[in-house]
Amino acid sequence: MGKPEEMYQCQTVNCGCLYDPDRGDRRGKVPKGTQFKDLGEEWCCPVCGAGKRMFKPLAGPGSVKDEQSA
């Protein structure tokens, strides 16, 4: 599993899908090892269809964890 700062979580209601660069996105034909920042702007959540802007990192600045502690 990727490092928390390399993983991103979808922030739409009832989704919570995680993008893990170690796994890629088989549905979206994104190969393993692809960093979130390297996904094309057309990429969307394989669960709910949300765009990249609806994802936040699990750790680091602007992260899901950062908001929970605020």
Question: What is the tens place of the pLDDT at every residue in 16-52?
Answer: 999 999 999 999 999 999 999 999 999 999 999 999 9
Confidence tier at 65 by pLDDT (50, 70, 90): low
- Cβ atoms < 10 Å from Cβ of 26: 10
Give the pLDDT band (50/70/90) at residue 54. Answer: very high
Which top CATH class is 1-70?
Answer: mainly beta
In terms of DSSP H, where are the helices of 1-70? 64-68
Please compute the mean of the pLDDT values over residues 42-69 and round it to a whole number.
Answer: 86
